[in-house]
Amino acid sequence: MRSGVTIFPGSNCDRDIIVALKNITGKAPIKMWHKDTEFPNLDLIVIPGGFSFGDYLRCGALAARSPVIKNIKNHISRGGAVLGICNGFQILIEAGILPGSLIRNKKLLFTCRDTMLEIQNTIKSPFLSGLKKEHHLNIPVAHNEGNFFASETLLNELKNDGRIAFKYIKEVNNNTDYNPNGSSNDIAGILSKNGRVLGMMPHPERAINNLYGGTDGLKFLTKSFEQIIG
């Protein structure tokens, strides 16, 4: 699989996803500096987590106007897959590639902890079609602005069109605080209309080894990559 990882000033999860991509696919991704515009055709572009441009103005706002974004939009129009993780999700929304908004966490806390994700019934998407819906994914979040906010109209549209990818769910015996940020309808990730762009707040690259506390992220990424090249 030919993949690329964007890097903005303030990206800080780029190395982790590069390691994951290299370990899983056996091939290192290319690094896509935000000012660069010329790249080879790729199967997957990952926009990693971090604090691009120091989260100035709004999270992801300045990154979403960077030169590299034009290349990402061309890649999407060619049917390419894009995965935006955390700040990458914020950037996809700010760039107008995914709808809605990600606002401050309801409790004003930067939340860094495991979350349990339920896979939703969605349109055909390479990110989800290899996974079994009854298997929940334990993947950590780490963010301050992950509270997905949208109009009722948009929330209904996302649900009816099968574009809600993941929801935070309550584990057995877990407390009621299962939604880490207060997001509408417990939404943790959404898809583009064609299912080939996924934005998610949880960090799968932080759950790829038992030393990290779990391997559900590895499972998710491995299945996604199989489907993308398949």
The residue ranges that bind another protein (CB under 8 A) are 57-58, 61-62, 65, 94, 100-101, 103-108, 147, 149-150, 182
Q: How far is CA 120 from CA 51, 126, 153, in A?
A: 28, 14, 19
Nearer to another protein, 105 or 179 (CB): 105
The structure tokens listed for 124 are 């055909």
The structure tokens listed for 3 are 């993949």
Nearer to another protein, 127 or 148 (CB): 148
The structure tokens listed for 208 are 């790829």
Active site residue 203: yes
Least distance from C-beta 184 to another protein, angstroms?
A: 10
DSSP characters over 167-221: EE-PPTT--S--SSS--GGGEEEEE-TTS-EEEESS-GGGSSBGGGTB-HHHHHH
State the residue for tokens 């935000």.
34
Least distance from C-beta 93 to another protein, angstroms?
A: 8
Collect all residues with Cβ–Cβ distance below 8 Å to 230 and sequence separation of at least 6: 126
Beta bridge partners of residue 115, listed in sequence order? 139
Nearer to another protein, 61 or 169 (CB): 61
Least distance from C-beta 98 to another protein, angstroms?
A: 11
Of the residues 13, 59, 75, 86, which is catalytic? 86
Least distance from C-beta 164 to another protein, angstroms?
A: 17
Nearer to another protein, 64 or 116 (CB): 64
Radius of gyration, CA atoms only, the chain: 16
Residues with active-site annotation: 86, 203, 205
